[in-house]
Amino acid sequence: MVFYLTACYFVVMETIKVGKNTKDALEQLAEQEKRSEDAVVRDALDAYNRQQFLESLREMQRIGAPIAKRLGLETDDDIERYLG
């Protein structure tokens, strides 16, 4: 069996408006880290998205935990059997 993987990368350019202090901080951080401003912004947005995901996951766990307890679901195996 042979698998082929084709990668496609799309670049979208966006202009954002930031205050002078933010721009100065971005320039300074990029210079300190010897990275482009684009890379610093991308990493900051990725970190923000990860944080949002984790907050959503915690909320789902908060809501789902009492339901799972009522159903007697304590392990992943319990959940798999329940979903069967």
In the predicted structure, residue 10 carries a pLDDT above the cut 90 = no
Q: How far apart are CA 75 and CA 72, in angstroms?
A: 9
pLDDT in tens, 11-39: 788 888 899 999 999 999 999 999 999 99
pLDDT above 60 (res 1): no
User: pLDDT per residue over 42-61, tens digit each?
Assistant: 999 999 999 999 999 999 99
Question: Do 81 and 75 meet the contact criterion of CB atoms below 8 Å apart?
Answer: no
* Confidence (pLDDT) at 5: 64
DSSP 75: S
